[in-house]
Amino acid sequence: MKVPGEPLPAKPIPAEKPGSVDAAIRAVLSAAGAGRVFSPVDFAHLGSRAAIDKVLSRLTASGTIRRVARGLYDVPRTHATMGRLLPSTEEIASAIANRGSLRLQPSGAYAANLLGLTEQVPIKLAFLTDGNSRTIAIGSQTIILKHTTPRNMATAGRISGMAIQALRHLGRIHVDAQVIARLKRRLTPEDRAVLQDDAALAPAWIADIMRHVAQDDG
């Protein structure tokens, strides 16, 4: 039974003749399902760049996939009442990272929101990166990639990296007992262990908070 408001299943990807680059790409798209974001790099093992670009162009023209930004495509998810949905930030970030072999670290208000330290969802989602700085507009959402130092990327992709960036965004004077308690409730014992291990990589005042959060309540 269809639940009202539930996303509709994705349309099956039409088959193409076996053995072709077209068929291979369609097989990857079908296996991944709706919502996944791709770049041409994801299909580099299947054929030449020219052949891949040609297939992606055909699939875009037919509506099988959608171009969401320069060099980024998705298999659109369709909602019963809202129509085609934009891909999630996580899927977009993953595709960007894969395309350029980059590391990304949520930062600023976005990191604070992901950790539940602020309720406001920022329109501009900021990531630190070891790649080039750039801005990507997808629908009404803006993703900002900001090149940073190796030290800031030392904890990229770990909960400690997100905590460091969230606390830095809030600022020392705004990180009170309530914020610390909220952060502590949000984290698993495994997360706290990571904070303890990575505290030395944070600025001194944030390192103190990370060690405090990592302490066992028992």
CB 21 within 8 A of CB 27: no
Distance spanning both ends of the chain, measured CA to CA: 46
- Long-range own/partner contacts, residues 163-166 (CB < 8 A, 24 or more apart): 163/111, 163/115, 163/195, 163/206, 163/210, 163/213, 164/198, 164/201, 164/202, 164/203, 164/206, 164/210, 165/105, 165/106, 165/107, 165/108, 165/111, 165/128, 166/111, 166/112, 166/114, 166/115, 166/117
Q: Tell me the pLDDT band of 90, cut-offs 50, 70 and 90.
A: confident
Look up residue 95 and give its two tokens.
């595709």
Mean pLDDT of 112-136: 90
pLDDT of residue 18: 46
Q: Which residue has the higher pLDDT, 38 or 2?
A: 38
Mean pLDDT of 152-168: 94
pLDDT of residue 98: 83
In degrees rounded to 5, what are phi and psi of residue 104?
-125, 145
pLDDT of residue 8: 37
pLDDT of residue 19: 57
pLDDT of residue 207: 96
Percent of the chain with pLDDT over 90: 60
Q: Which residue has the higher pLDDT, 11 or 116?
A: 116
Query: Given a cut of 80, is residue 71 above it in pLDDT?
Result: yes
